Amino acid sequence: MALTFPSDLDAWRRWQNSRNRLRRARDLVRRPAPPTLWLASNGPEPALLVVVDSTTPSSVAAFTEPLRHLADAPVAVLALADVSAHLPGEWTARALDGLELPHELGAVRTVFAAGHFLPAGVTAHAWARTLGARFVVAQHGLLTTWAPPLPAEAHLLAFSDADARYWASGRTDLTHEVVGSQLFWRARQRELTPDSAARPIFLGQLHGAELPRQASARSARHFCESTGATYRPHPSETDRLSRLQHAQWRRQGIEFDTSGIALSENRRPVASIFSTGVLEAAAAGIPAWVSAVRPPAWVVDCWERYDMSEWGGAPTPSPNVPDLEPARAVAAGLGRLMAGEGR
């Protein structure tokens, strides 16, 4: 399989909007204001602009950790909120009045982001084109056929060569280097002792656009009811439909994870449809599986590409984790690009 939309971002957006018609209709009526962007910097004339479009653990691991290994390099960070308190060193931050290129970014030659499909990334990509800066994308999760396309002529920092080839899907305008996954690398360092006798935890994915909500719910309910597993909602399962589904499941006797234990410290067996958390658990030495009721072909393809084991068999093997911390590898790659070396 390959990406459904290997280069057409507009087509991907139409598909994304079609997955939640209720939210789309509400937005058209309410016409929500564009988000306020914040710009933080650690010195004058930054050469690198880092884009933080999300504060999920995987995103933080992909974009915040490399900053700790860039020494005294002048850096700016564009985000949807003031994230300066979470950045290493001393930073000044301000809310931007609009989407015009800020004067202090005139020396930026490299932009580092998750892509050009979320609000801050869209703006940063436009600025990169104005500045003639290289746009660098870091992979921070598993890839499915529904992944958004990479920007034209982007440089990709990938988990693996296989992921880079899959995301490119035949395109020849992209370059890449393999750095590994910071999330999996950190999990490997934990070396947790699993509580193999405990009931498994099922990682929810009701929020995802890839599968119809009914399909995700059917798989989660079937697994929890058939195994006695505890349901752990994804942090993004806060919308009205998700809350209604949670309430129904509770009435039906499905237990929810209310322990407050971070997923990174969980020692119980883990299962999900295709969550990154399955490989994170496996990297930490925790038994982990995938499970779905009548999974579509692309889900099975995802399981096979990442060597994720279906429930009932041996646990998912640990993913390959490099010796060099990925955050250091990312920082080194960004340093070379800022110096005008390499790709």
Higher pLDDT, 338 or 286: 286
pLDDT given for residue 236 in this prediction: 86
Nearest to 108 by CA among 343, 334, 342: 334
pLDDT tens digits for range 242-267: 999 999 999 999 999 989 888 889 99
Predicted TM-score (pTM) of this structure: 0.91
Q: What is the mean pLDDT of residues 200-228?
A: 95
Confidence of residue 208 (pLDDT cuts 50, 70, 90): confident
For tokens 């050469």, the residue is 47
Give the right CATH number for 9-180+324-338 from 3.40.50, 3.10.450, 3.30.2010, 3.30.530: 3.40.50
Structure tokens at 189: 């360092």
pLDDT given for residue 246 in this prediction: 96
d(CA 74, CA 291): 46
d(CA 184, CA 200): 20
Confidence of residue 88 (pLDDT cuts 50, 70, 90): confident
pLDDT given for residue 263 in this prediction: 87
d(CA 77, CA 181): 21
pLDDT given for residue 27 in this prediction: 46
How do strand 175-178 and strand 134-138 relate by DSSP bridges? unpaired
| Identical fold, 9-180+324-338 and 189-305 | yes
Higher pLDDT, 86 or 45: 45
Q: What is the mean pLDDT of residues 16-21?
A: 79
Domain range list for the chain: 9-180+324-338, 189-305
CB atoms under 10 Å from CB of 61, counted, come to 21
**Residues near 244 by Cβ (< 8 Å), separated by ≥ 6?**
none
For 262-299, b/e burial (b = at least 16 CB within 10 A) is: ebeebbbbbbbbbbbbbbbbbbbbbbbbbbbeebeebb
CB atoms under 10 Å from CB of 313, counted, come to 8
Q: What is the mean pLDDT of residues 272-299?
A: 96
Confidence of residue 60 (pLDDT cuts 50, 70, 90): low
State what percent of residues in the chain have pLDDT above 90: 77
pLDDT given for residue 264 in this prediction: 87
Q: Which CATH architecture has domain 189-305?
A: 3-Layer(aba) Sandwich (3.40)
pLDDT at residue 211 is higher than 90: yes
Do 210 and 275 contact (CB within 8 A), yes or no?
no
Higher pLDDT, 26 or 96: 96
pLDDT given for residue 232 in this prediction: 97
pLDDT given for residue 21 in this prediction: 57
pLDDT given for residue 89 in this prediction: 87
Residues composing the chain: 343
